[in-house]
Amino acid sequence: MEGKTATVIGATGLIGSCLVKLLQTDDDFVTIKALVRRPFEFESPKIQVKVIDFTDGTAFRTAIAGSDAIFCAVGTTQKKVKGDKAEYRKVDYDIPVHAAQFCSETGCPHFLLVSSLGASRVSGNFYLKLKGEVEDTIRNMNIPSVSVFRPSMLLGKREEFRFGEIIAKALSVPFSFLFTSKYKPIKADQVARAMIAASKKDKPGFHVYHYREMIELKFIG
């Protein structure tokens, strides 16, 4: 049986970097395509770095072609886009939606997306509304298997400094045992493990995973 090809979008981010690290030692995947906006070096010979302009549909589609599973963990922050909601949307909406479109067009059977707890197109929160719009758009695409992961607070070391997130973690993590399961903080590598496990199940349809489902799913892969 030939090994699979995984494509990771957002490979240098918190969850994306965990995905790349785990996929390097996963024998089911022989090729890992890391789609990035800027040059980046990875050590494993399994990894093919694809530096692309995500607004270039032809280049984006070509980079995705031949994938067996597409892991989309891309995202930005208000700080990075200097509060420009249109620029924010270009990253958090346009990139995953176009990735899913090309997933469908190139015959990739499984699209896996990092979303957020509370994602809903009717939310009054800009971020959660955007995530909900992404989910709803992808739900209606012709992709055999779609897995959406909705973590609450993510635990892990980021490249960038996020003061608000550090304070939130300091306040919430010690009391996480009081939270209902959906709201429990989760480690980035646990989300990544769950995504890889889900990619091997190829469960038909559209499926959403919260904390409990992610923790249980990681033991299957």
Instruction: Measure the CA angle with vertex 213, ends 204 and 28; round to 5°.
Output: 60
Per-residue pLDDT of 77-90, as tens digits, reads 888 999 999 999 99
- Output b/e per residue, 174-188; b: 16+ Cβ within 10 A: eeeeeeeeeebbbeb
Mean pLDDT of the chain: 89
What angle, 0 to 180 degrees and rounded to 10, lies between the N-to-C axes of helices 14-24 and 188-201? 60
Residue with the two structure tokens 């919430």: 172
The confidence score (pLDDT) of residue 221 equals: 43
The confidence score (pLDDT) of residue 43 equals: 83
If one compares 114 and 159, the residue with the highest pLDDT of the two is: 114
Per-residue pLDDT of 125-178, as tens digits, reads 999 999 999 999 999 999 999 999 999 999 966 455 444 444 444 444 454 444
Q: Is there a contact between 199 and 6 (Cβ–Cβ < 8 Å)?
A: yes
- In the predicted model, what is the mean pLDDT of residues 95-101? 98
The confidence score (pLDDT) of residue 163 equals: 41
- Residue 122 pLDDT > 60: yes
- Write out the DSSP string of the chain: -PPEEEEEESTTSHHHHHHHHHHHT-TTEEEEEEEESS----S-TTEEEEE--TT-HHHHHHHHTT-SEEEE-----TTTTTT-HHHHHIIIIIHHHHHHHHHHHTT-SEEEEE--TT--TT-SSHHHHHHHHHHHHHHTS--SEEEEE--SSEES--SS--HHHHHHHHHHGGGGGGS-GGGS-EEHHHHHHHHHHHHHH--SEEEEE-HHHHHHHTTT-
The confidence score (pLDDT) of residue 6 equals: 98
The confidence score (pLDDT) of residue 175 equals: 43
Rounded CA separation 156/34 (Å): 20
Per-residue pLDDT of 166-210, as tens digits, reads 444 444 445 444 455 678 999 999 999 999 999 999 899 999 999
Q: Are strands 205-209 and 69-72 parallel, antiparallel or unpaired?
A: unpaired
The confidence score (pLDDT) of residue 219 equals: 56
Residue 64 φ then ψ, to 5°? -80, -30
Indicate left, alpha or beta for 220 from its phi (over 0: left) and psi (-120 to 50: alpha).
Answer: alpha
Give the start-to-end residue ranges of the domains of the chain: 4-217
The confidence score (pLDDT) of residue 156 equals: 66
Q: Output the six-digit token pair for 20.
A: 């790349």
Q: Which CATH architecture has domain 4-217?
A: 3-Layer(aba) Sandwich (3.40)
Q: Is there a contact between 6 and 31 (Cβ–Cβ < 8 Å)?
A: yes
